[in-house]
Amino acid sequence: MRVLITAGPTREPIDPVRYLSNRSTGGMGFALARAAMRRDHQVLLVLGPVEGQPPVGAEVYGVETAREMLDAVLDFLPWADAVLCAAAVSDYRPARAAASKLKRGSFTSLELVENPDIAAAVGERKGERPLVVFALETDDGVVHAKDKLARKNADFCVLNGPDAIGADRAAFVLVRRDGTSLDLGELTKDELADRLFDLLQ
């Protein structure tokens, strides 16, 4: 298969030196890329700004903002046989980014606007391609994961908590398109990636 994977955070500029972002390391996306390549799939990784090095052999397209990631994903979607949206995309961005560094005391609040929903955009256009999405939740996780699955027209949603960020091992729940869920217990991200590609064969 030709596999399109999103990974890492996005950064939404406030001014030339500050930005809104999150703690994503890209580790899940890297594990997915390794699992895909072990099965001889072609991998295109649309990668937000991370410190780690992506797996050797994956084609990487680097982006910074959510809008850049959306443009790249939609450009590459016709190429892909399967899409896995593991990036932690910033939900909001500043309405305006300042052209010069904002000084202390020059602002006390930010006006935010909603970023595009990349997974939902894929879901609208995916056709027969399988789509896997991820949900990080702190409360009522399965309920929210089922809702996310439906809203994004995805085939599988992987649920985890904040403890998965930056960790190699975490607890995961798999929610299927038919609404059923499977508690996978604690797995490494590589083990989880292998389980997902077993489903996508």
For residue 84, being part of any structural domain is answered with yes
For residue 34, being part of any structural domain is answered with yes
Is the confidence at residue 137, as pLDDT, over 90?
Answer: no
For residue 105, being part of any structural domain is answered with no
Let me know if 160 is a catalytic residue: no
Residue type, 11: R
Q: How far apart are CA 49 and CA 32, in angstroms?
A: 17
In tens, the pLDDT along 30-65 reads: 999 999 999 999 999 999 999 999 999 999 999 999
For residue 93, being part of any structural domain is answered with yes
Total structural domains within the chain: 1
For residue 106, being part of any structural domain is answered with no
115 or 168, which is more confident?
115
For residue 104, being part of any structural domain is answered with no
pLDDT band at 105 (very low <50, low <70, confident <90, very high): confident
Q: Which residue in this structure is represented by tokens 């596999």? A: 3
Q: What is the CATH number of the domain that holds 124?
A: 3.40.50.10300
Catalytic residue among 22, 115, 153, 160: 22
Can you give the pTM of this predicted structure?
0.95
Tell me whether residue 153 is exposed, middle or buried, using C-beta atoms within 10 angstroms of its C-beta: 0 to 12, 13 to 18, 19 or more.
middle
The residue segments making up the domain with residue 125 are: 2-99+111-200
